[in-house]
Amino acid sequence: MIIVLKPEATEPQIDHLLDRLRELGLKTHMTQGEERTIIGVIGDDRILQNQPITAFPGVESVTPILAPWKLVSREFKKDNTVIDVCGVKVGGQKLAIMAGPCAVEKLELTVGIAHEVKAAGGSILRGGAYKPRTSPYSFQGVGREGLDYLLEAKRQTGMPVVSEILDTRDIELFLQKADIIQIGARNMQNFELLKEVGAYDKPVLLKRGLSATLKEFLLSAEYIMSRGNRNVILCERGIRTFETQYRNTLDLAAVPTLKELSHLPVIVDPSHATGKWNLVAPMAKAAVAAGADGLLIEVHSNPECALCDGEESIKPSKFKELMQDLRKIAVAVGREI
């Protein structure tokens, strides 16, 4: 439920209303816009059916939210959410291009790729220090040391860093060393992890699960936001279908649909979605045309020797070419890079 307050509503009137809602066992989230202050009510809306909320001083209107996700919904917040990551805006007019190696391997390699991504126009450095793998025998990442490599690359290039967290016990480490905490597809419904990252203001990049519906995806985002963290970025990275020609099926229809249902920024990962380097560029272009707010692209200077997902990584020269093409498409759809 959304409670819209009158422009002249006073602080005591607002506090009185908030106290009453808490007495009823409901949680509240207040958003102050340019013209109106809105209170989002979280909980069982049926409690308020016989409560004269419009009778409270300062209340202008009350609107029920029909979607099971409340804070994530367009009904709660009409304007697009723009998340500031160390000066890089995600969700604004300019597209956020996150690029780098799937897995951090060595310091020199990580820093070298970061410089080439920056030179080509990338705005955020991506890299996995911890890697969740299907096989226990596959490369699992270099761990804490990898985050230090990313920090050094950030120091040299100025690019913010996004990296994936796997364990709630590592939250303090990621708060210190990552600018965006990534929740991977396999952890989209790891609710304890979602609640943990939701307790902080650090931006979170939430990837859609391998077989998740959009409803499940948005409810996972709701888990994070319900704990107070409003800085959530949604990432479409392909879903599992019957098709075997490529790794996953990139659901580009999800981009405009998510943007219609939610105010959160939506980015696309064409690398994991396809699993093939030669499909990354066409799908990245299609994602921008579909209205994505950014991209997450795997770039590696020597994909043949990459320890993880080399088959879907593009070389820096290909990334540079792609960025040139993306600039043209961005202009055509009223955006920029």
Q: What is the pLDDT of residue 137?
A: 67
Q: How far apart are CA 84 and CA 26, in angstroms?
A: 30
What is each CA distance from 85 to 154, 240, 330, in whole angstroms?
13, 31, 21
Is the confidence at residue 131, as pLDDT, over 80?
A: no
Read off the pLDDT of each residue in 77-99 and give the average, rounded to a whole number: 96
∠ CA 37-40-42, nearest 5°, is 165
Residue range 278-295, pLDDT digits in tens: 999 999 999 999 999 999
Q: Are 130 and 91 in contact (CB under 8 A)?
A: no
Residue range 238-270, pLDDT digits in tens: 999 999 999 999 999 999 999 999 999 999 999
Q: How far apart are CA 266 and CA 205, in angstroms?
A: 9
Read off the pLDDT of each residue in 294-300 and give the average, rounded to a whole number: 97
Is the confidence at residue 197, as pLDDT, over 70?
A: yes
Residue range 142-159, pLDDT digits in tens: 889 999 999 999 999 999
Confidence of residue 223 (pLDDT cuts 50, 70, 90): very high
| Alpha helices (runs of H) in the chain, residue ranges in sequence order | 11-23, 107-120, 144-157, 171-177, 191-198, 214-226, 254-261, 270-274, 277-289, 316-332
Q: What is the pLDDT of residue 50?
A: 72
Q: Are 268 and 296 in contact (CB under 8 A)?
A: yes
Tokens 């590592």 locate to: 170
Walk me through the domains of the chain, giving residue ranges and CATH numbers.
2-63 (3.30.70.1140), 83-332 (3.20.20.70)
Per the DSSP assignment, residues forming a β-bridge with 96 are 294
Is the confidence at residue 138, as pLDDT, over 90?
A: no
pTM for this one? 0.85
Q: How far apart are CA 227 and CA 11, in angstroms?
A: 24
